[in-house]
């Protein structure tokens, strides 16, 4: 199964627990999800008005149109 999920975070979200601080991924590219792995560095030059897709090698493509079909 494959899902299309839209995320717009560009920085990790710091969370403090009782004995440590962790960083939660908000960009969706982490290979340690839900924790940040530093991959958000690849999205810092994104245009906020453009929708992008990334493949498993972090190759970026611009999305021009998404079509939804109802059954």
Q: Which residues bind ligand FES (CB under 6 A)?
A: 12, 25-27, 29-30, 36-40
Q: How far is the CB of 37 from ligand FES (least distance, A)?
A: 5
6/22 Cα distance (integer angstroms): 23
Task: Please state the φ and ψ torsions of residue 43, each to the nearest 5 degrees.
Answer: -110, 5
If the CB atoms of residues 18 and 44 are measured against ligand FES, the closer one turns out to be 44
If the CB atoms of residues 31 and 62 are measured against ligand FES, the closer one turns out to be 31
Q: How far is the CB of 56 from ligand FES (least distance, A)?
A: 14
């Amino acid at each position: 199964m494959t899902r299309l999920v839209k995320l717009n975070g560009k920085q990790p979200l710091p969370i403090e627990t009782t004995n440590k601080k962790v960083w939660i991924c908000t960009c969706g590219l982490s290979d340690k999800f839900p924790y940040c792995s530093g991959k958000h560095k690849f999205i810092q030059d994104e245009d906020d008005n453009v929708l992008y897709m990334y493949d498993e090698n972090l190759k970026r493509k611009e999305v021009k149109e998404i079509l939804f079909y109802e059954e």
